[in-house]
Structure 1
Amino acid sequence: MHHPEHNPWKVTSEDEIYNNPWIQLTHYEVINPSGNPGIYGKVHFKNRAIGVLPLDGELNTYLVGQYRFTIDDYSWEMPEGGGPLNEDPLDAAKRELLEETGLKAQEWTWLCHMHLSNSVSDEYGVVYLARGLQQFEAEPEETEQLVIRKLPFAEAYQMVVEGKITDSMTVAAILRVQLMINNGEL
């Protein structure tokens, strides 16, 4: 199937609507790919999303529970956070794992990268698997009221299957690790 190599959208004007240390919202007047005028809103993220799925030698994992303001609901997810765009994502992953769970890992495996909501934002995420875990003291940020739950990976996988975990990076990481288990890679 042929796809265009050039951007078919033409921007006729852009206005910054909102800007803070984490995101920028821009309103665009555009000519869409079919040649008609339209509008588009884009949320630009100033940090990279980072996710870490810890997995110990007995195939237990650690989930972080917290109330998420944006969805007005409680969420179970792997340790996640943001890393500056100019920082090595692995360094950010190590920091997030320690901050949220108190864990340090000896082995790190890249699992995937993903665009988290590409219809309205440029948020980009990188996800790692952390193995060879050692427990230290957690250092959560002041905005985080976290509950840490250690559970068998199979139970976390079942939570994804049953729709009890809806965080996109966590769903992707758990499904990817389940494939690795199925393929005898873990």
Structure 2
Amino acid sequence: MSQKPDWLRPHGSPWTRGAEQMVYDNPWIRVSHHEAVAPTGRPAQYGLVSFKNLAIAVLPLHDDGTVTLVGQNRFALAGYSWELPEGGSPIGEDPLEGAKRELAEETGLQAREWRKVLQVQLSNSVTDERAVGYLALGLSDAVGRAQGDDTEELALVRAPYREVLDAALAGHMEDMLTVAMLLRAYHMAREGALPDALTRAMLS
């Protein structure tokens, strides 16, 4: 990873947190209300959604330049979503182990090579959720069948990388981690950071 440029240094004063009230708590998230002082010095109130897992995304990139995607109905926006294999890794767990588990559980695949290629904040105005993304290469079938948890009804499709990228850029796939990972892989291919044969298969 390259050195952080000087212009990315913090400016101004940070937020100051005061009294906190827990509003809601379950095994996955915690919602809290905060009295605070803004960087401008003005008093403020803030609602924060805290996550108990690190978000994980895996881009399963096959040697022939195809990608395995997962389709499922999502509750929050009441719609169907085609996206990369994704899930949560408990805070404190090695996120690579979480990525391997999610790939096997959702697709039935395992990978010979793993590369951490993305680290992002998902919605830092109202949540503290962070995410990491892995590129999974050298794919083969894992032992056992793919299966989600008892609330998931998953479908799988394997499609050419370029078609998947074009679908995402056209707005047909809106999951942010999926879009970010597909663009990251495109950048890596264009910059020569992937094997030549794989790059040709992806971009053809």
Q: TM-score range by the shorter chain?
A: over 0.9
The residue type equivalent to 1:77 in the other structure is E
Deviation above 4 Å: which 4+ runs of structure 1?
none
- Work out the CA distance in 2 between the residues paired with 1:12 and 1:106: 48
- Work out the CA distance in 2 between the residues paired with 1:169 and 1:51: 7
Pair 1:170 & 2:148 matched: no
Q: What's the CA shift for 1:11? A: 2.4
- Work out the CA distance in 2 between the residues paired with 1:159 and 1:11: 42
Pair 1:146 & 2:154 matched: yes
SS at match of 1:48: strand
Q: What's the CA shift for 1:12? A: 2.9
User: What residue in structure 1 maps to residue 10 of structure 2?
Assistant: 3
- Summarize the alignment of residues 15-164 of structure 1 with structure 2, pairs less than 5 Å apart: 15-136=21-142, 137-164=145-172
User: What residue in structure 2 maps to residue 12 of structure 1?
Assistant: 18
Identify unmatched segments of 5+ residues in structure 2: 1-6, 195-204
- Work out the CA distance in 2 between the residues paired with 1:49 and 1:107: 20
Q: Is the 8 A contact 2:85 2:106 kept in 1?
A: yes
- Work out the CA distance in 1 between the residues paired with 2:18 and 2:45: 10
- Work out the CA distance in 1 between the residues paired with 2:18 and 2:58: 40
Q: What's the CA shift for 1:143? A: 1.1
- Work out the CA distance in 1 between the residues paired with 2:46 and 2:117: 32
SS at match of 1:180: helix
Q: What's the CA shift for 1:41? A: 0.7
- Work out the CA distance in 1 between the residues paired with 2:57 and 2:65: 18
SS at match of 1:3: coil
SS at match of 1:181: helix
The share of aligned pairs that are identical, in percent, is 46
Q: What's the CA shift for 1:142? A: 0.8
- Work out the CA distance in 1 between the residues paired with 2:176 and 2:193: 23
SS at match of 1:108: strand
- Work out the CA distance in 1 between the residues paired with 2:17 and 2:148: 41
- Decide whether aligned partners of structure 1 residues 77 and 111 sit closer, same or farther in structure 2, where only a CA change above 3 A counts: same
- Residue by residue over 1:113-167, the C-alpha shift from the partner in whole angstroms, topping out at 9 and shown as x without a partner, is 1111111101110100001111232121111111111000011100111011111
SS at match of 2:106: helix
- Work out the CA distance in 2 between the residues paired with 1:3 and 1:62: 39
- Please report the RMSD computed on the Cα atoms of aligned residues, expressed in angstroms: 1.3
